[in-house]
Amino acid sequence: MRLLWLVCGALVAACGPDQGPFVCPVGPDFQVLITAEYGPLPSDLLLRLHYGGRAYGDPEELALAAPMPTRALFCYVSDRNGKYPADAVPLGGRQTGTAGAGGEGGGSFVPAQSIDALSCELWTDGSADLDVWSQMYGMVSVKLQTQKHVCTVKSDVELTPEDAGMK
């Protein structure tokens, strides 16, 4: 009889409340902070985003000198810690999370001052590759992988002279 009570007690203890599926609130898959080791970002900075929603040979592009609206890559002028005003509009003019809706911006972007950093949100719905290019620093490629039970994966890209082959 004791064995029966022990087995029943073990079964009751093993059956706890279900955790349910892990659900993330609506938000970007990745947040990437882009800075340069020495001073502001170069004005010819170009970002290329490769993700599952596009052919690899046709990446989404965002040029700092002339940003156009994008569907999955939203970058804000920020300080070196990634902070920007809550009412800031991303380069290119479209609000995040609207994928195809919102204000269509575009045209040339001429910053009133140098840009210390870009805080970028990537809405890729899965893993992605981000290429950051400038003539001064060359190409820096970052592989971004989603992580289990992490809603938004954060990454930093600091451009250094070594990226351009100088050592």
Mean pLDDT of 85-96: 83
Which pLDDT belongs to residue 18? 57
pTM for the model: 0.76
Residue type, 115: I
Coil, helix or strand at residue 14: helix
Domain boundaries, the chain: 41-96+106-167
CA dist., res. 60 & res. 49, Å (int): 5
Coil, helix or strand at residue 51: strand
Q: How far is CA 35 from the centre of its chain?
A: 14
Percent with pLDDT over 70 in the chain: 73
pLDDT tens, position by position, 23-32:
888 999 999 9
Which pLDDT belongs to residue 38? 87
Length of the chain: 167
pLDDT tens, position by position, 8-62:
555 555 555 556 677 888 999 999 999 999 899 999 999 999 999 788 899 999 9
- Least confident range from 20-34, 72-86, 106-120: namely 106-120
Which pLDDT belongs to residue 67? 93
Q: Which comes out higher in pLDDT, residue 1 or 63?
A: 63
CA dist., res. 72 & res. 97, Å (int): 8
Query: Could you tell me if 123 and 29 are in contact, meaning their C-beta atoms sit under 8 angstroms apart?
Result: yes
Alpha carbon of 159 to those of 131, 134, 153: distances in Å? 12, 9, 20
Q: How far is CA 138 from the centre of its chain?
A: 20
Q: DSSP class of residue 7?
A: H
Query: Could you tell me if 159 and 34 are in contact, meaning their C-beta atoms sit under 8 angstroms apart?
Result: yes
Which pLDDT belongs to residue 99? 42
CA dist., res. 50 & res. 111, Å (int): 26
pLDDT tens, position by position, 133-146:
999 999 999 999 99
